[in-house]
């Protein structure tokens, strides 16, 4: 490895992915699962933990073996590691949190195709030593988890009147006063909320707005 590649500091790897380089809000990766598992806090939380674990461990393993991975088949080598880790997580959930694994259904298995994991191993772990890679994996997993939990909080509180399954507003169906917002429990609402979140973050942090890649013609007809 060339010595002139400067390894990023722990702050860049661990803290930046939370907001400034958030995998969901800024890199816009992993949107599929963001929509699918955020209707309740419990599933979103377990999904965040699973992705953080897979992301951290795959980064660590890919980085540890980066000097052995032949570059022509590096994607396959990364996929092998990621897939093994995901199967491991899926099996552990099935054995010790059967109820939750039923709710998450296919989405645990689909962590394999979550672009965040692949993006980090390919974009970071192949270039840098194990320790920064591990931190980078944890940071990105937490950044993903942060967005997931924010969206799930809004969706569960206003869509079902509860948070982590604890009732906050008694819904009409249960004899209370709160009429839940049906839209929020449907997957499209996750999309709207991601959009709103990106808007919010970028209007507060103007430096995160990318320069336009091309100009459009502003003229009339």
Size of site (CB under 8 A) for other proteins: 37
In the complex, least distance from residue 87 CB atom to other proteins, rounded to whole angstroms: 5
CA-based nearest residue to 122, from 195, 49, 71: 71
In the complex, least distance from residue 105 CB atom to other proteins, rounded to whole angstroms: 7
In the complex, least distance from residue 200 CB atom to other proteins, rounded to whole angstroms: 25
DSSP 165-196: TEESS-BGGGTSSB---GGGGSHHHHHHHHHH
If binding is defined by CB under 8 A, does position 160 make contact with other proteins?
Answer: yes
8 CB-side CA count, 13 A = 20
14 vs 108, beta carbon nearer other proteins: 108
If binding is defined by CB under 8 A, does position 49 make contact with other proteins?
Answer: no
Q: Lay out the site mask for other proteins across 92-131 (x = CB under 8 A, - = otherwise).
A: x-xxx-xx--x--x--------------------------
User: Within the chain, what is the greatest distance between any pair of CA atoms?
Assistant: 67
If binding is defined by CB under 8 A, does position 175 make contact with other proteins?
Answer: yes
The answer to whether the beta carbons of residues 25 and 194 sit under 8 Å apart is yes
If binding is defined by CB under 8 A, does position 73 make contact with other proteins?
Answer: yes
Over the Cα atoms of the chain, what is R_g? Answer: 20
Question: Please, which residues bridge with residue 167 across strands?
Answer: 162
If binding is defined by CB under 8 A, does position 153 make contact with other proteins?
Answer: no
If binding is defined by CB under 8 A, does position 177 make contact with other proteins?
Answer: no
What is the spatial distance between Cα 96 and Cα 112, in angstroms, rounded to a whole number?
21
If binding is defined by CB under 8 A, does position 167 make contact with other proteins?
Answer: no
The answer to whether the beta carbons of residues 104 and 93 sit under 8 Å apart is yes
Site residues (vs other proteins, CB under 8 A): 39-40, 65, 67-73, 76-77, 80-81, 83-84, 87-88, 91-92, 94-96, 98-99, 102, 105, 159-160, 173-175, 180, 182, 184-186
């Amino acid at each position: 490895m060339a010595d002139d590649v400067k390894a990023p500091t722990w702050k860049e790897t661990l803290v930046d992915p939370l907001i400034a380089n958030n995998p969901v809000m800024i890199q816009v990766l992993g949107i599929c699962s963001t929509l699918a598992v955020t209707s309740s806090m419990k599933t979103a939380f377990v999904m965040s933990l699973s992705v953080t674990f897979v992301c951290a461990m795959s980064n660590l393993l890919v980085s540890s073996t980066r000097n052995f991975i032949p570059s022509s088949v590096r994607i396959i080598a990364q996929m092998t590691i990621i897939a093994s880790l995901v199967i491991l997580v899926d099996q552990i959930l099935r054995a010790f949190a059967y109820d939750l694994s039923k709710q998450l259904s296919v989405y645990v298995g689909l962590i394999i195709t979550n672009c965040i994991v692949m993006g980090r191993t390919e974009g970071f772990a192949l270039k840098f030593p194990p320790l920064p890679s591990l931190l980078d994996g944890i940071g990105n997993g937490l950044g993903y988890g942060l967005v997931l939990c924010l969206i799930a909080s809004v969706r569960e509180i206003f869509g079902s009147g509860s948070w982590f399954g604890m009732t906050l507003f008694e819904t009409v169906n249960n004899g209370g006063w709160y009429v839940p917002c049906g839209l929020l429990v449907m997957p499209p609402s996750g999309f709207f909320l991601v959009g709103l979140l990106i808007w919010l973050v970028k209007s507060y942090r103007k430096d995160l707005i990318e320069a336009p890649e091309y100009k459009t013609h502003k003229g009339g007809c």
